[in-house]
Each structure stands twice: as structure tokens, then as C-alpha cells.
């Protein structure tokens, strides 16, 4: 299976130079989606891409949001004929050491989640971030009927068959809540979901980009999808 790792970046210069060599040790290609990072992440990624054919870089004009960065990566993966796309954060919260077990698991699933909330998984965050993550997961599972234990995780391996069924033009979340919204389509599509345990570590280098606005948007996304569920709509 040929897999494209989709790596959204915004000001991850310190991390990208450490992460790309780690990813190159694995049987995957890489697509960095950089939003004109002022710290030069995009230029660093270009230098790597010039030396290594397995790396490509999508440059966008400014900070357009995590969700649309994933979409840009998915479109690249589909256009280039990859069998699957793996999304992950570029700040080592999603450690590449878990990718081999995700690649193995995809043999029996359509979506594999690097999961914080199955046996063996863990979240190493400050307590308030841990609570926020747990509550948003709990609410999404309760209101939207999601069966995955970690339905807000960004560490995911999607088969292209799943991506092709997603209405990428009509997804309304452009930020972090994209993850909650895509889970809607995966679950409605009846796809097989598997989870492999990961230990999620807090970032050591660089700064967090999640804002209170994104948290608010996350809540509105859940309620919007909940209303859709009440109306019995599948799209």
C-alpha cells in the first residue's frame, strides 16, 4: 500500500527538521502543507523536498486553518493515486514510532486512529487540556453516536476509498473541528474503524496554535452535526 503522510505546518521550523528524517525511515511519502509560516518552515521543507523525491510541499498563501490543510493534502493524495493518507501533527505529539502499527492495522480497516482512549493509550497534557480533550470526546460520542473511543484525534490513516466518498467541497469546518466532522462521514459511510493505542505527548518545541475560538467552533460543530442527526440526514 502506498501511503502519503499529510503534515500540516504553521511555524514548526524546529520540529520539521527533526520529523522529516524520522518519517523517511518509514515506507511512506510525505506532503507538507505549509501556510506561509513566518518562521520559514515552508522554505525548510522545500530544501528537504529538493533533496528527497519522497517529500513534496504544498504552499498556501496564509494561515487558512488545519481542516483545509488536511483537505489540500487529501486532494494531493487522491490526484497522485495513493492508496491511503495519514494525517499527523508536526510537533511530535503524534510520534512517528506508532506509524508501523497503524500501517499493519489498515489491512483490516478503512480508517485507523492513533488513539489516546483505548487500552494502552494515554494523554500527557496539562490537566486542563486533558479535561478539554476528554469532555469533547465524550460529548461527540454521546450526541453523535460515534463508536470510536478517540473521535477527535488528528493521528489517522484513511484509505483512499474513504476519502473519495467524503464531500470535501461541502465540509463546513475549516479548523480543528474538521476532525469531528470527517468522523461523521466515516461513520455514516459504514466504514470499518480500528484504533491503535498511542501515548500523546505535549509538544516540546514551538507554540500551540489552538485558540479559544477553535474550541468554541468545536462545540458548534458538534451541535450542528447533532441537529443533522436529529433530522435523520446522512449527508
Ligand X SMILES: Nc1nc2c(ncn2[C@@H]2O[C@H](COP(=O)(O)OP(=O)(O)OP(=O)(O)O)[C@@H](O)[C@H]2O)c(=O)[nH]1
Tell me, what DSSP letter sits at residue 29?
Answer: E
Residue with Cβ nearer ligand X (20 or 33): 33
35 binds ligand X, rule: CB under 6 A: yes
What is the C-alpha separation between 194 and 206, in angstroms, rounded?
A: 31
**DSSP 3-state assignment of 55?**
strand
Single out the segment in contact with ligand X by CB under 6 A; choices: 6-14, 157-165, 182-190, 217-225. Answer: 6-14
What is the C-alpha separation between 210 and 129, in angstroms, rounded?
A: 11
147 binds ligand X, rule: CB under 6 A: no
Task: Find which of Mg ion, ligand X, none residue 150 binds, CB within 5 to 8 Å per kind.
Answer: none
Residue with Cβ nearer ligand X (43 or 210): 210
Q: Which of 43, 220, 61 is nearest to 143 (CA)?
A: 220
Q: How far is CA 173 from CA 55, 112, 147, 168, 208, in A?
A: 27, 21, 21, 10, 19
**DSSP 3-state assignment of 113?**
strand
Residue with Cβ nearer ligand X (9 or 221): 9
Task: Find which of Mg ion, ligand X, none residue 29 binds, CB within 5 to 8 Å per kind.
Answer: none
Single out the segment in contact with ligand X by CB under 6 A; choices: 28-36, 46-54, 162-170, 218-226. Answer: 28-36
What is the C-alpha separation between 60 and 5, in angstroms, rounded?
A: 18
Q: Which of 9, 115, 180, 182 binds ligand X (CB under 6 A)?
A: 9
Give the residue ranges of DSSP H helices in 8-65. Answer: 13-24, 41-51
What is the C-alpha separation between 175 and 68, in angstroms, rounded?
A: 7
CB 221 → ligand X: shortest distance, Å? 15
Task: Find which of ligand X, Mg ion, none residue 80 binds, CB within 5 to 8 Å per kind.
Answer: none
What is the C-alpha separation between 211 and 46, in angstroms, rounded?
A: 28
CB 175 → ligand X: shortest distance, Å? 7
Tell me, what DSSP letter sits at residue 106?
Answer: G
Task: Find which of Mg ion, ligand X, none residue 209 binds, CB within 5 to 8 Å per kind.
Answer: ligand X
Residue with Cβ nearer ligand X (126 or 167): 126
Q: Which of 136, 172, 169 is nearest to 152 (CA)?
A: 136
Q: Which of 8, 73, 114, 218 binds ligand X (CB under 6 A)?
A: 8
Which of positions 72-111 make contact with ligand X (CB under 6 A)?
A: 89-91, 93
Report the interface residues with ligand X, using CB under 6 A. Answer: 8-10, 12, 33-35, 63-66, 69, 89-91, 93, 203, 208-210
Amino acid at each position: 500500500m502506498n501511503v502519503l503522510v499529510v503534515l500540516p505546518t504553521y511555524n514548526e521550523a524546529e520540529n520539521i527538521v527533526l520529523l522529516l528524517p524520522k518519517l523517511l525511515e518509514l515506507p511512506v511519502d510525505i506532503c507538507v502543507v505549509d501556510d506561509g509560516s513566518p518562521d520559514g518552515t515552508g522554505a525548510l521543507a522545500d530544501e528537504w523536498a529538493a533533496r528527497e523525491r519522497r517529500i513534496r510541499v504544498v504552499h498556501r498563501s496564509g494561515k487558512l486553518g488545519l481542516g483545509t490543510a488536511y483537505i489540500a493534502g487529501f486532494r494531493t493524495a487522491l490526484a497522485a493515486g495513493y492508496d491511503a493518507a495519514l494525517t499527523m501533527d508536526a510537533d511530535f505529539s503524534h510520534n512517528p514510532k506508532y506509524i508501523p502499527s497503524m500501517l499493519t492495522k489498515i489491512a483490516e480497516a478503512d480508517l485507523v486512529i492513533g488513539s489516546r482512549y483505548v487500552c494502552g493509550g494515554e494523554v500527557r497534557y496539562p490537566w486542563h487540556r486533558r479535561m478539554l480533550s476528554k469532555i469533547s470526546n465524550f460529548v461527540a460520542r454521546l450526541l453523535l453516536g460515534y463508536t470510536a473511543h478517540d473521535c477527535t484525534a488528528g493521528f489517522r490513516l484513511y484509505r483512499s476509498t474513504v476519502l473519495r466518498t467524503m464531500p470535501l467541497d461541502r465540509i463546513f469546518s475549516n479548523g480543528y473541528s474538521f476532525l469531528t466532522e470527517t468522523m461523521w462521514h466515516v461513520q455514516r459511510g459504514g466504514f470499518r474503524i480500528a484504533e491503535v493505542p498511542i501515548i500523546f505527548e505535549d509538544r516540546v518545541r514551538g507554540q500551540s496554535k489552538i485558540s479559544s475560538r477553535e474550541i468554541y467552533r468545536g462545540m458548534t460543530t458538534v451541535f450542528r452535526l447533532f441537529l443533522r442527526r436529529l433530522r435523520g440526514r446522512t449527508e
